[in-house]
Amino acid sequence: MFIDFEGIDGSGKTTLSNLLAGRLKKLGYRVAHAREGGELQAPTARRVRELTRDARLLEMSARTEFFLNLARDAQQLEEVVAPALGRGEVCITDRYLYSQLALSGGGRGLPMDELRPAVELAAQGLWPDLVILVDVDPDLARWRKRLGKAQGGRASDGDSRKGLVGAGLAVRVRQAFLELARQDPRRWIILENDDVPLRVLEQRLVDAVLARLEGRETPVQRIAPLPVAPPTGPACVEDVEKRFLEALDTVEAREPALAAWMLGGLPGLAAHQRRLGLVEFYPGLVARGLSDLDDAPAWTLREVLAPRAPAQVAQGLGSISGPRAMMMRERLYTQVPAEVLTGLRRDDSPQAWALRERGVKDGKLAEVLPGLGGLDGDEAWLLREAGMQRGLYSAVARSLGGLDSERADALREVLLPQDRLAVLRSTTGLDTPVARGLREALEDKALKLVLRSLCGLVTDEAWGLRERGAPLTKEALDSLDGLDDPRAWKLRVAHAGRWPATALSSLRGLPLGPEARALITRVLEAHPRRLSVLRNAYGVIATARALAAHPPSARASRGVTESSAQQVER
């Protein structure tokens, strides 16, 4: 029997496919998993996959990507799948040719009628007996992916080629998968993985597969949790905290690490109390989730967590400056110098420069450079020159973040052949010739980064890019964060139906005026139980109330910073 798992990135198909393989083996079945442990079993297929994921290959067309992905699956078929089926084994795949139809057709927009003949050629008539579509809310899938990166110690600012397109790609791919399942209901089973404990989901999956293996009919196509009654009463701003915390309780019971991760950057007593309940088991996630929070409870937690999770504590300092933050960085330097040095952006204090000098003496120029963002003095430029001499091009590009001088643009021009994406990231919020040229050149190749580079910009070019990008991906609304502009409100309202959680997160830093309250209420009424919506609504409201209680003149002494208003997760 040939069983294929499909779904968007972060849906859980790799975890579930490996669980199924293990359970079937225990039941006495001979099983071959073509991607056991998440790794393609055919070496040639692994090499091809590296090409299709390489974000540096910006000129690779959608058709080229399609044929490379076909080649990967064809090799897996030749080398792993067909031999296993020939031996009479149950063969499990984590992605097959359906993924290429969903990605290239649904996601990239290539004509399905043109793709199907090539897919049929690659399949050689061999199609799965059972396809399990692991279906999930794309917002939740993205949270799980970020959590996986955090727990695995992987860079959070890296992007695959798919990632460069923006979050809208996953939405389109999901819809394509659902349409494929609708067209072939006897072959496809849809397994919902939004709010069911993994052990329950695993058992439902095993039961459905055993029914097929034993020749029994599967009564339904969609394996879904029991329906949950919607919250009672009308949606309102005052009710958001209660609804979010109830939803978080459900998440914590099912995925406690995800609950800890979702608390990241949220101010207020209720969020702090939840962190205290999770800190013993997830110290690193809690520490990192203190990002830019400058209140007394956050500092108490940092002191407790510094010995257990020094890297995450350093990361969670974010852009906080001042004596207390610097003392913490100085304490942590010997254990996690990289995290400390990269966290010095925009800090021109003598203490920060002392740490940088120490880092250079310790041979850590590559870590010192990213921490120069926003600094335009002679000392900073001497370090950039040293970085260029040593070929640290990406780190030098990161050091240019926030600089709009002619000198910075001239260096960006030099760096473009080395790392265009790092240079693009350095232009966030800038309206310089290089920034404008890069956005024009990369709009169709790295739309997510182009849109995010618009944060704070109110130029005609920026509004044109947002208006073109908003129907395609949520990052157009990400770039509206904190903008109280009629054009920003028009975009939020127009696209709140497609990107509800992001429409809310773009309100960060704004007061809870009539427009904000109306938008929050409208989105909550449409999505009363959607976790990402509740989380972002709570974050916006808690931040606005904290800022209203402690206006700018008093925030430094009362522990509420402007940066903390920027921490509602997208």
pLDDT single digits (tens) 231-279: 666 678 889 999 999 999 999 999 999 999 999 999 989 999 999 999 9
Of the pLDDT bands very low, low, confident and very high (cuts 50, 70, 90), residue 222 is confident
pLDDT single digits (tens) 366-423: 999 999 999 999 999 999 999 999 999 999 999 999 999 999 999 999 999 999 999 9
Helix H or strand E encompassing 4: strand 2-6
Q: Give the mean model confidence (pLDDT) for residues 81-110.
A: 97
Predicted pLDDT of residue 198: 87
Predicted pLDDT of residue 551: 65
pLDDT single digits (tens) 339-375: 999 999 999 999 999 999 999 999 999 999 999 999 9
pLDDT single digits (tens) 442-472: 999 999 999 999 999 999 999 999 999 999 9
Asked whether the predicted pLDDT for residue 306 surpasses 90, the reply is yes
Predicted pLDDT of residue 31: 97
Q: Give the mean model confidence (pLDDT) for residues 317-334.
A: 94
The amino acid at residue 382 is L
Residue recorded with tokens 């040095």? 341
Helix H or strand E encompassing 319: none
Q: Rounding to the nearest 10 degrees, give the CA dihedral for residues 99, 104, 109, 114.
A: -100
Q: Is 443 helix (H, G, I), strand (E, B) or coil?
A: coil
Contact assessment for residue 418 and residue 393, using Cβ atoms and an 8 Å cutoff: yes
Predicted pLDDT of residue 265: 92
Of the pLDDT bands very low, low, confident and very high (cuts 50, 70, 90), residue 217 is confident
Predicted pLDDT of residue 116: 97
Contact assessment for residue 499 and residue 570, using Cβ atoms and an 8 Å cutoff: no
Predicted pLDDT of residue 195: 83
d(CA 248, CA 435): 40
Predicted pLDDT of residue 401: 96
Predicted pLDDT of residue 570: 52
CATH for 2-223, options being 3.40.1160.10, 3.40.640.10, 3.40.50.300, 3.90.1150.10? 3.40.50.300
Q: What is the pTM of this model?
A: 0.91
Predicted pLDDT of residue 6: 97
Predicted pLDDT of residue 350: 96
Of the pLDDT bands very low, low, confident and very high (cuts 50, 70, 90), residue 218 is low
Of the pLDDT bands very low, low, confident and very high (cuts 50, 70, 90), residue 228 is low
**Between residues 219 and 338, the one the model is more confident about:** 338
d(CA 98, CA 103): 9
Asked whether the predicted pLDDT for residue 434 surpasses 70, the reply is yes
The amino acid at residue 43 is P
What is the full DSSP assignment across 71-108? HHHHHHIIIIIHHHHHTT-EEEEES-HHHHIIIIIIIT
Predicted pLDDT of residue 292: 87
pLDDT single digits (tens) 44-78: 999 999 999 999 999 999 999 999 999 999 999 99
Predicted pLDDT of residue 557: 35
Q: Where are the domains of the chain?
A: 2-223
For CA atoms 216, 219, 222, 224, give the dihedral sign: negative
302: nearest Cα among 279, 334, 333: 279
